[in-house]
């Protein structure tokens, strides 16, 4: 393989899976209207937060009777709010095929200590047996596994007449994949993912069924203030109209509004999905011709179009120990980063050795194409060193 360096660099080498690349053309000028130094509870602050909620509904095509709230602590905070507030009345089916799903299992078993919990596991690159899920139970799962590059194929596997609630951690799916709202009772995400926003804020979306659960069930455990969504047995509606539980960053909110307006300019969700799909197709076309790289998720039906995970299949590398394979993959990522051709493309720390490349809508397909050239160069360079 020719080890000559490629001639061109990606215009934007940021391929991190979170926080993700800013939208094309972004600059600090986009934040000029942020009401800095003002209270988030002042008229201007509440108006901005309400605008962010309204634009979220429009772009994500959220049903009118679903509540949307901006909450603390990123997607993790939103998921924890849902689990601590809603789980308990029914058995739980917890699906885990990557690290974040595993994390929710840990919290359910060790923190909430819900003994009537069934865990449906699968390895990295695979998915839990969706056909065996019991929808008389509450069900929690990741719509897109950020650390494994595996997503659910659609919402068809979810029972329309379910008795339990469905809680979908959708942080790397929202704004790049179509969520089946009628099959989902709780959806969470952070805008630092597919829209390239800044970290620290989560979004929690509740169906009418989830609201009914909140108003009819009181958990047995103490509820921290930042998790409380009811008062006197009634939903605190203000949370879902821009009256946040704690103080948000109005700078980050302004940035989110800018990204949502950019998304609207693309045609909304259709445009966002099309861009993510196009980016992933560039990688798929390259993988199809590659002698050394393959998708971690073999089944294209469950393969992510955002957090795309790759593995090295060259025999000289697969013959190495797992520790040596991990070192080789880190070498690839390091070589690419050193050349400023791609940042933060190493696999997640708990995942199998390999690479993880963000292909969400804020990425340009032309940059993905250039990155693949640098990946080939890095592989040839690292393999030559391995053979030396």
Domains along the chain with CATH numbers: 33-265 (3.40.640.10), 269-387 (3.90.1150.10)
CA dist list (Å): 70 to 22, 34, 253, 337, 344: 20, 17, 10, 34, 28
372 φ/ψ angles, rounded to the nearest 5 degrees: -60, -35
Give kind and range of the element (H or E) at residue 76: helix 74-86
How would you write the pLDDT of the chain (388 residues) with one tens digit per residue?
Answer: 457 999 999 999 999 999 999 999 999 999 999 999 999 999 999 999 999 999 999 999 999 999 999 999 999 999 999 999 999 999 999 999 999 999 999 999 999 999 999 999 999 999 999 999 999 999 999 999 999 999 999 999 999 999 999 999 999 999 999 999 999 999 999 999 999 999 999 999 999 999 999 999 999 999 999 999 999 999 999 999 999 999 999 999 999 999 999 999 999 999 999 999 999 999 999 999 999 999 999 999 999 999 999 999 999 999 999 999 999 999 999 999 999 999 999 999 999 999 999 999 999 999 999 999 999 999 999 999 998 7
243 φ/ψ angles, rounded to the nearest 5 degrees: -95, 85
119 φ/ψ angles, rounded to the nearest 5 degrees: -105, 125
pLDDT given for residue 15 in this prediction: 98
Which token pair is 59? Answer: 């772009």
CA dist list (Å): 365 to 116, 166, 286: 46, 34, 12
Angle at 347 between CA 26 and CA 24, to 5 degrees: 10
Write down the pTM of the prediction: 0.97
Q: Strands, E, within 122-173: which ranges?
A: 138-142, 144-145, 150-151, 166-169
């Amino acid at each position: 393989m020719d080890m000559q360096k490629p001639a061109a660099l990606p215009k934007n080498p940021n391929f991190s899976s979170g926080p993700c690349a800013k939208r094309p053309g972004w600059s600090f000028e986009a934040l000029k209207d942020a009401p800095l130094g003002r209270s988030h509870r002042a008229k201007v602050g509440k108006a901005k937060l309400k605008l962010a909620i309204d634009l979220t509904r429009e772009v994500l095509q959220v049903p009118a009777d679903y509540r949307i709230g901006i909450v603390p602590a990123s997607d993790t905070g939103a998921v924890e709010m849902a689990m601590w507030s809603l789980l308990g009345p029914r058995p739980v089916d917890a699906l885990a095929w990557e690290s974040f799903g595993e994390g929710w299992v840990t919290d359910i078993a060790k923190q909430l200590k819900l003994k009537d919990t069934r865990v449906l596991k699968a390895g990295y690159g695979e998915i839990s047996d969706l056909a065996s899920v019991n929808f008389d139970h509450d069900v929690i799962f990741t719509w897109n596994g950020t650390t494994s590059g595996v997503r659910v194929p659609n919402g068809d596997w979810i029972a329309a007449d379910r008795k339990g609630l469905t809680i979908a951690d959708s942080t790397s799916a929202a704004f790049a994949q179509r969520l089946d709202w009628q099959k989902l009772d709780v959806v969470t995400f952070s805008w630092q993912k597919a829209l390239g926003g800044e970290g620290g804020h989560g979004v929690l979306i509740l169906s009418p069924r989830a609201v009914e659960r909140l108003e009819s069930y009181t958990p047995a455990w103490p509820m921290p203030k930042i998790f409380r969504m009811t008062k006197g047995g009634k939903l605190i509606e203000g949370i879902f109209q821009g009256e946040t539980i704690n103080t948000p960053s109005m700078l980050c909110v302004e940035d989110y509004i800018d990204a949502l307006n950019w998304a609207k300019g693309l045609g909304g969700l259709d445009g966002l999905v099309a861009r993510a799909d196009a980016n992933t197709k560039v990688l798929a076309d390259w993988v199809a011709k590659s002698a050394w790289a393959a998708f971690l998720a073999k089944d294209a039906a469950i393969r992510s179009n955002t957090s795309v995970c790759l593995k090295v299949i060259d025999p000289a590398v697969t013959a190495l120990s797992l520790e040596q394979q991990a070192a080789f993959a880190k070498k690839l990522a390091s070589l690419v980063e050193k050349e400023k051709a791609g940042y933060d493309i190493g696999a997640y720390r708990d995942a199998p050795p390999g690479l993880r490349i963000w292909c969400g809508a804020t990425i340009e397909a032309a940059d993905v194409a250039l990155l693949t050239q640098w990946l080939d160069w890095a592989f040839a360079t690292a393999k030559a060193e391995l053979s030396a």
